[in-house]
Amino acid sequence: MASTREDTPESTPSLPDSREPPALARIPDLEPEGCAQSLETAPKKLCGYLSKFGGKGPLRGWKCRWFFYDEGKCHLYYSRTAQDANPLDSIDLSSAVFDCKVAAEEGTFEIKTPSRVITLKAPTKQVMLYWLQQLQMKRWEFHNSPRAPPAALDPTLAGNGPALHLDLGQGEEAALEEFLCPVKTPTGLVGVAAALQPAPAMPSALHNISLKHLGTEIQNTMHNIRGNKQAHGTGHGPLVEESPQSGGPQREEQPSGPEPSTPGREPADSPKAVPKSSVPTNVTQKAKRQSNTFPFFSDGLARTRSAQEKVVALEQQVLMLTTELQSQKELVKILHKALEAAQQEKRASSAYLAAAKDKDRLELVRHKVRQIEELSRRVEALEQEREHLAHEAGLREQQVQELQQHVQLLMDKNQAKQQVICKLSEKVTQDFTQPPGPPSTDDRDFLSQQERMEHLKDDMEAYKTQNRFLNSEIHQVSKIWRKVAEKEKALLMKCAYLQARNCQVESKHLAGLRRLQEAAAGTEAHAFSDLLRQLVQEALQWEATEGSADPMGLNPVSEYDEYGFLTVPDYEVEDLKLLAKIQALEVRSHHLLGLEAKERPLRERWSAIDELAPSAELKQMLRAGVPREHRPRVWKWLVHRHVQHLHTPGYYQELLGRGQACEHPAARQIELDLNRTFPNNKHFTCPTSSFPSQLRRVLLAFSWQNPAIGYCQGLNRLAAIALLVLEDEESAFWCLVAIVETILPADYYSKTLTASQVDQRVLQDLLSEKMPRLVAHLGQYRVDLSLITFNWFLVVFADSLISDILLRVWDAFLYEGTKVVFRYALAIFKYNEEEILRLQDGLEIYQYLRFFTKTICDSRKLMNIAFNDMNPFPMKQLQQLRAAHRERLEAELRELERLKAEYMERRASWGRTLPESYASEEDGEGEA
């Protein structure tokens, strides 16, 4: 039945490290004298016979299988019998959950894995609970087993900053909470003792065969037959014990079983079992060989069996082989029928090919067509039968639901029946005190009620047991999930920290190269120029291919950010390229270090908000920044608050239709500015991108919406930012309308840009109030900040800040208005105040102010300066400053118009009083 060799402790491989199937795992060899005692003291193995529901078609049903648990792999293997050499398949328990249903048959439970659901049935309820508890324990032991310690960190990185202390192995609780009392081991039904019992009988031997694993079945059958032939062909000696002089146990070679992952496959080069030439001379040695085919018997146990037990075992094996032979005959009959059908098809094809006339062939074809029609009718009949069965199944499901409702109703009425029971108990007591008489109708009702109550009590106990088990299962699965989630979170934090440290080290390296390049620009430049140029070029090279091929995504800096902007812009000056890459590395470092501490809690807060409503909490969350996945939804809500009085369905399409009917005067200027919109963004530079055409339609629609403005330079960048975030051109159009017509002052984009000029003077006053040292320093070198800050206000920092900081500014700007622009403008100067104060030349200050906003990498620090350090910042003060400066500016513009009119009048008077001898250029050319 199984292997015919006698395994020794030295030659028997362990299950996790070898390819030996679980059914071949054996308990240690026992001495003949202490066989019974050794069986009791041997380590308990989780194994036994269970019924598995499976199969297809007429063979679908319960199949008896021998199950065996592998400690090393957390797999539950199963085969047809305990004597099989190869397992049919295995069940991975590491990620499985277990369930038992009261409504199912007694002893039925389920093992649910991510890929399938296995339904098993134990002989009794106690055996079912024992298996469930043991499987839970094995799964917990597997997950709680110690893992290999993580590799030590590189000591070179340890000195770059404070070490990150992570405790990946959290201490487990000393004792698990008990939900279900421990179930006693069922005697003779599980473990090694179950192997001594014959396999449970099945209604039909063919139903117990696994056609899915037919190769493994054939291998096991041949292996068992070969083992029986070797066992029965050893002579018929007297039934006496083997003498010590007969020699030691004889050993034979046995091929290793196939891998559990590929049941039924046997290696081609596996050695065949070669029996030894020596023949045993008594039945005891024959019985010893026979016992070796049983995986869970030891040699000592086989020697002590009586002759009667051996005869009974042989008879059982003969019955089992007879049953298997019958099943194999039935299988051969099925295969013969399939072969006859194939041969009949072949004969029909040969007759068609052998027909000499087309008429004969046509008759054969017609015969086949009639057969096809008959088969089609059969298929239709079967389809109707299937629909009928499906309908019946639906009716059965409805009946099951009704029965479940009925059970629930019975449970609800249980309390009321308790009172009835009390009354009936009192009546029974009275009846017992009275002399017996003939049973009345009330007595019969009482007995029936009492019987029903017993059934209800049994149901309640079953539900309680199921509830306790399911609570235990949920508790253990939750603990395993929580432990895995904590480990994953700790590893992500560690990974983010290491990436941040890597970015910091690389930025320090680039900054050192830049300072060395500046220092070597003197007299010794010829000695370092080539080396420095090579190092700088290597530092500026992008490794996009390596970064994209990295499956873990650990490349510190990618070429484009999440909105398509170049992380390191392609500047013409090499020094600016170096500064841009340093800034990109610093941004990445700050983002990684703040991911767990600030970004993750912020994402959780935004995810918890279902409906947006104005509040102080929402204002603080918008100032902290909106996560990318929530930004489109939040911006659409913010824009709708500003334009809900203007928004009408279909209005945007109407404006586009108006633009197709006739060309707007601003269309030419819009077309010129399209190619100059964000040259560092791949969405507007790629020839196949749809963003430029969407931007064109948005700007043309706005020019028809607001004829007073039409188009002004800067509107293209505002609309482009809205398109990148909202990804919908109609939403981007309304966002542009909200900014220009409701958030910013009315004449911000007029021909005179009056409101824009007013805001520049207001900013100058606020700078004098908040940062007097900086204003004095800039005034000393006659630096006009409006040359730099005018574009900040006109496009709301679209060209100045990196995308991560820019969109955080817009988050607050769309909610609070232009006050946010003033706050961030002051914060930018405060952020770089010390660097500006160190510059001692006006031209050098202008060069620094051209790109210094791109060096800001810490968005959290900038936000704290804008909304905390710049307080108080009342809107009333801002309105007063705007009104005062607007009055002065309008007076200056009126004076300028007056001077212009006087000049034009004087010029006209000069034309009337020209001397007669004066000849214009036109007159001279005419005479020539």
- Domain boundaries along the sequence of the chain: 44-144+184-199, 561-591, 598-743, 747-798+823-907
Side-chain half-sphere CA neighbours of 265 within 13 A:
7
Q: Which of 197-201, 612-616, 634-638, 639-643 has the lowest mean pLDDT?
A: 197-201
Question: Cα separations (Å) of 581 from 263, 391, 513, 728?
Answer: 56, 68, 12, 32
Pairwise CA distance, residues 34 & 542, whole Å: 75
Pairwise CA distance, residues 269 & 550, whole Å: 40
CB–CB of 23/67 below 8 Å? no
* pLDDT score recorded for residue 735: 96
For 120-163, the DSSP string reads EE-SSHHHHHHHHHHHHHHHHHHHHSPPPPPPPPPHHHHTTSPP
Bridge partner residues of 565 (DSSP)? 681
pLDDT class for 824, splitting at 50, 70, 90?
very high
* pLDDT score recorded for residue 718: 95
Pairwise CA distance, residues 426 & 168, whole Å: 64
Nearest to 241 by CA among 174, 150, 311, 302: 302
In this predicted structure, the answer to whether residue 104 has a pLDDT above a threshold of 90 is no
* pLDDT score recorded for residue 591: 56
* pLDDT score recorded for residue 30: 36
pLDDT class for 213, splitting at 50, 70, 90?
confident
Pairwise CA distance, residues 825 & 760, whole Å: 11
Helix 842-851 / helix 786-795 crossing angle, nearest 10 deg: 10
pLDDT class for 21, splitting at 50, 70, 90?
very low
Burial environment of residue 576 by CB neighbours within 10 A (0 to 12, 13 to 18, 19 or more) = middle
Q: Which of 209-223, 379-393, 868-882 has the lowest mean pLDDT?
A: 209-223
Query: Which range has the top average pLDDT, 348-357, 552-561, 892-901?
Result: 892-901
Compute the average pLDDT of residues 487-505.
70
Task: Specify the DSSP class assigned to residue 473.
Answer: H
Bridge partner residues of 117 (DSSP)? 112
Task: Specify the DSSP class assigned to residue 66.
Answer: E
* pLDDT score recorded for residue 160: 41
Q: Which two tokens stand for residue 830?
A: 């405060």
Nearest to 778 by CA among 819, 820, 832: 832
In terms of pLDDT, which residue wins out, 926 or 882? 882
Q: Coil, strand or helix: which one is 108?
A: strand
Query: Which range has the top average pLDDT, 171-175, 235-239, 413-417, 524-528?
Result: 413-417
* pLDDT score recorded for residue 860: 87
Strand order in the sheet with 47-54: 89-92, 75-79, 61-70, 47-54, 117-121, 108-112, 97-100
Q: Which of 76-90, 296-310, 457-471 has the lowest mean pLDDT?
A: 296-310
Q: Which two tokens stand for residue 224?
A: 């068992």
pLDDT class for 537, splitting at 50, 70, 90?
low
In this predicted structure, the answer to whether residue 831 has a pLDDT above a threshold of 60 is yes
Question: Cα separations (Å) of 155 from 163, 489, 494?
Answer: 10, 23, 15
Nearest to 274 by CA among 226, 317, 233: 226
Q: In this structure, what is the dihedral angle of CA atoms 124, 126, 127, 130, given to the nearest 10 degrees?
A: 160
Residue tagged 């992500």 (tokens): 492
CATH number for region 44-144+184-199: 2.30.29.30
Pairwise CA distance, residues 174 & 172, whole Å: 6
Pure H helices in 675-743: 682-685, 691-705, 715-726, 729-738
* pLDDT score recorded for residue 768: 93
Pure H helices in 520-573: 525-540, 544-549
Q: Which of 347-356, 518-527, 530-539, 745-754 has the lowest mean pLDDT?
A: 518-527
CATH of 598-743, one of 3.30.200.20, 1.10.8.270, 3.40.50.300, 1.10.8.80: 1.10.8.270
Compute the average pLDDT of residues 13-32.
40
Phi, psi (rounded to 5 degrees) for 709:
-100, -45
CB–CB of 166/492 below 8 Å? no
Compute the average pLDDT of residues 907-915.
70
Cα 222 versus chain centre, distance: 46
pLDDT class for 190, splitting at 50, 70, 90?
confident
Compute the average pLDDT of residues 517-522.
59
* pLDDT score recorded for residue 218: 78
Quote the mean pLDDT of the chain: 75
Pairwise CA distance, residues 600 & 492, whole Å: 12
In terms of pLDDT, which residue wins out, 258 or 437? 437
Neighbour count for residue 419 (Cβ, 10 Å): 9
* pLDDT score recorded for residue 790: 93
Query: Which range has the top average pLDDT, 172-181, 359-368, 754-763?
Result: 754-763
* pLDDT score recorded for residue 720: 95
* pLDDT score recorded for residue 245: 38
Phi, psi (rounded to 5 degrees) for 337:
-60, -45
Dihedral sign computed on CA atoms, order 745, 749, 755, 761:
positive
pLDDT class for 206, splitting at 50, 70, 90?
low
* pLDDT score recorded for residue 4: 36
DSSP E strands, 9-105: 47-54, 61-70, 75-79, 89-92, 97-100
In terms of pLDDT, which residue wins out, 886 or 160? 886
In this predicted structure, the answer to whether residue 148 has a pLDDT above a threshold of 60 is no
Whether CATH 1.10.472.80 fits 747-798+823-907: yes
Task: Specify the DSSP class assigned to residue 742.
Answer: I
Burial environment of residue 118 by CB neighbours within 10 A (0 to 12, 13 to 18, 19 or more) = middle
Residue tagged 């045993």 (tokens): 280
* pLDDT score recorded for residue 514: 64
Pairwise CA distance, residues 360 & 352, whole Å: 8
Compute the average pLDDT of residues 345-363.
78
In this predicted structure, the answer to whether residue 137 has a pLDDT above a threshold of 90 is no
Task: Specify the DSSP class assigned to residue 739.
Answer: I
Nearest to 286 by CA among 227, 250, 232, 222: 232
* pLDDT score recorded for residue 781: 92
Task: Specify the DSSP class assigned to residue 566.
Answer: B
Question: Cα separations (Å) of 403 from 100, 110, 390, 411, 463?
Answer: 19, 22, 20, 12, 16
Compute the average pLDDT of residues 686-697.
90
pLDDT class for 727, splitting at 50, 70, 90?
confident
Question: Which DSSP helix (H) or strand (E) runs through 119?
Answer: strand 117-121
Compute the average pLDDT of residues 202-220.
70
CB–CB of 90/79 below 8 Å? no
In this predicted structure, the answer to whether residue 501 has a pLDDT above a threshold of 70 is no
In tens, the pLDDT along 276-322 reads: 333 344 434 444 444 444 444 444 444 445 677 888 888 888 999 99
CB–CB of 845/781 below 8 Å? yes
In this predicted structure, the answer to whether residue 447 has a pLDDT above a threshold of 70 is yes
In terms of pLDDT, which residue wins out, 273 or 452? 452
Pairwise CA distance, residues 712 & 458, whole Å: 84
Question: Cα separations (Å) of 6 from 168, 242, 254, 292?
Answer: 46, 16, 9, 6
In this predicted structure, the answer to whether residue 271 has a pLDDT above a threshold of 60 is no
In terms of pLDDT, which residue wins out, 271 or 352? 352
In terms of pLDDT, which residue wins out, 250 or 431? 431
Burial environment of residue 867 by CB neighbours within 10 A (0 to 12, 13 to 18, 19 or more) = buried
Nearest to 108 by CA among 52, 185, 59, 48: 52
In this predicted structure, the answer to whether residue 477 has a pLDDT above a threshold of 90 is no
Q: Coil, strand or helix: which one is 217?
A: helix
Bridge partner residues of 61 (DSSP)? 54
Pairwise CA distance, residues 123 & 200, whole Å: 10
In terms of pLDDT, which residue wins out, 155 or 394? 394
Phi, psi (rounded to 5 degrees) for 796:
55, 55
Query: Which range has the top average pLDDT, 55-59, 152-156, 419-423, 649-653?
Result: 649-653
Pairwise CA distance, residues 923 & 905, whole Å: 25
pLDDT class for 114, splitting at 50, 70, 90?
confident
Phi, psi (rounded to 5 degrees) for 96:
-95, 155
pLDDT class for 554, splitting at 50, 70, 90?
very low
In this predicted structure, the answer to whether residue 884 has a pLDDT above a threshold of 50 is yes
In tens, the pLDDT along 386-403 reads: 999 999 999 999 999 999
